[in-house]
Amino acid sequence: MSQDSKQTILVVGGCRSGKSRFSEQWATERFARKTYVATTVAGDDEEMQHRVAMHRQNRGADWQTIEEPHAIADVLRHQWQHTDVFLVDCLTLWLTNLLLQNFSDEDILDRVGDLADAIRECPVSVALVANEVGLGIVPEAALARRFRDLAGWCNQTIGARCDQVVFMAAGLPLYLK
């Protein structure tokens, strides 16, 4: 795939809006070699382990999976040779992982900027999934407001970098860009 045919897309929406399904279908319809970059850390959480297993089963065997909770930009820069598209699911969990590692806001936003650069530099297509968490009320807790703000800034930065941005609601896509 040449640099000219490369596509980038950010798919945002609420929980259970159809973001992942839409993104997987988008990649499957366009690319033979697909790599799913999972940012989830299931740990000892049995319910999350079940979700991860269901996602893998639903994607099928023709997807390569890379589990990377922190260094997404490094994956895009260094592991593109055997894929036509990366599907990063999801940026919101990635931000959570960084927050749980006690990264400062400045460090997190630097990583978001680095990811935006990696998307531009990556010679293959990239699809990214993120939750839209800014549609509700202002959270009462400082950590929740910090998380909401970082997620919004991340989505803005990555959305500006992508060729397409799609908002999902009730399983339906609304094309923003």
Tell me how many degrees the CA angle 137-110-9 measures, rounded to the nearest 5: 70
Q: Write the pLDDT tens digit of every residue in 43-95.
A: 788 887 888 778 777 788 899 999 999 999 999 999 999 999 999 999 999 99
Task: pLDDT band for 4, please (50, 70, 90 cuts).
Answer: low
**pLDDT value of position 2:** 41
For residue 17, CA distances in Å to 5, 38, 130, 131, 170 come to 28, 18, 11, 9, 5
Give residue for tokens 């590692």: 101
Catalytic residue among 55, 70, 78, 82: 55
What's residue 137's pLDDT?
86
Per-residue confidence (pLDDT) for residue 1, from 0 to 100? 42
Model confidence pLDDT, tens digit, residues 100-123: 999 999 999 999 999 999 999 999
Cross-strand partners of 8? 126
Domains and CATH numbers, the chain: 3-175 (3.40.50.300)
Residue 82 designated active-site:
no
- Return the bridge partners of 11, or none: 129, 166
